[in-house]
Amino acid sequence: MPAEIHEDSHSSLFQDGPAPRVLLTMPQRGSSSDSAKNLEQQYDLSTPRERTDSDATLSTGVEQRWLKRYRVEVAASGSSVLSTLTTFPLDSVKTRMQTYKYAGFLDCVRQTYQKENLRGFFRGVTAPMASITLVRTVSFSIYQRSKYAYSNWVKRNFGFNVMAHVASRGSYPNLWSIATFAAAGATAGSCITVIACRSFKRVCRCVVLT
């Protein structure tokens, strides 16, 4: 006897749209199961490939929106890590020359490489890399948000769009742009100074107590 799938009762099986109206004929009693298997393969309602592709597309869209929203923080963190790893060997050699006696810069590099290989030039890099990355990331984040906040304030009170002026081709700095960026830099510097001083006080207190 025929069986009919209605859109209202089975619409939840379809993720991308309303369920199509399909007429299914039930196999007769005593017949082989080949017709039932062919019918099941022909009208496969699970569609796992479509759900997987849609989930992957949704995940990619979320990651892209996240990167676009926090692009300043991601760029600041990446550049801080790269710059610290690049310049730390020179700082390590300088510290060794100030602490121990060497014939010169090349002698310090040669002895450090012979005794500790490349790991000797990066000994103790974790602490400065973490602190510098944190400070620069917070600083650039505060600067970026302060810049747009001050620009909106100038536009709202004086009718001049600082960000549009800076983004326009062939524009030159004026009083409003200089004042906006200077205020944003001062805000970021002040916040970082307060954070660094409070962190340094806590570290010193822990050292004294221990």
- pLDDT of 15-39, one tens digit each? 444 444 444 444 455 444 555 455 4
Nearest Cα to Cα of residue 151 among 166, 171, 140: 166
Smallest CA-to-CA distance from 20 within 5, 35, 32 is with: 5
The identity of residue 49, as a single letter, is R
pLDDT range class, residue 4, cuts 50, 70, 90:
very low
pLDDT attached to residue 124 = 86
Q: Can you give the residue ranges of every domain in the chain?
A: 2-63, 70-209
The stretch 111-137 carries a mean pLDDT of 88
pLDDT at 200: 54
Burial class (CB in 10 A: 0-12, 13-18, 19+), 162: buried
Structure-token match 């597309």, residue found: 57
> Model confidence over 48-59: pLDDT tens digits?
444 455 555 656
Q: Is the confidence at residue 6, as pLDDT, over 60?
A: no
Cross-strand pairs, 2: 25
* Residue 53, pLDDT score: 54
Q: Is the pLDDT of residue 180 over 90?
A: yes
Rg (CA), the chain: 32
3-class secondary-structure state, position 172: coil
> DSSP for 9-51?
HHGGG-SSSPPP-EEEEPPPTT--THHHHHHHHHT----HHHH
Chain-wide mean pLDDT for the chain?
Answer: 75
Give pLDDT, residue 149: 94
pLDDT band at 11, cuts 50/70/90? very low
Percent of the chain at pLDDT > 90 equals: 27
Looking at mean pLDDT, say which of 35-39, 128-132, 171-175 comes out highest. 171-175
Query: Within 10 A of 147 (CB to CB), how many other CB atoms are there?
Result: 20
Give the SS3 label for residue 177.
helix
pLDDT in tens, 100-121: 888 889 999 999 999 888 888 9
Q: How much is the average pLDDT of 128-132?
A: 87
Indicate the pairing of strand 22-25 with strand 2-5: antiparallel
Which residue has better confidence, 175 or 70? 175
Cα dihedral across residues 43, 49, 52, 55: positive or negative: negative
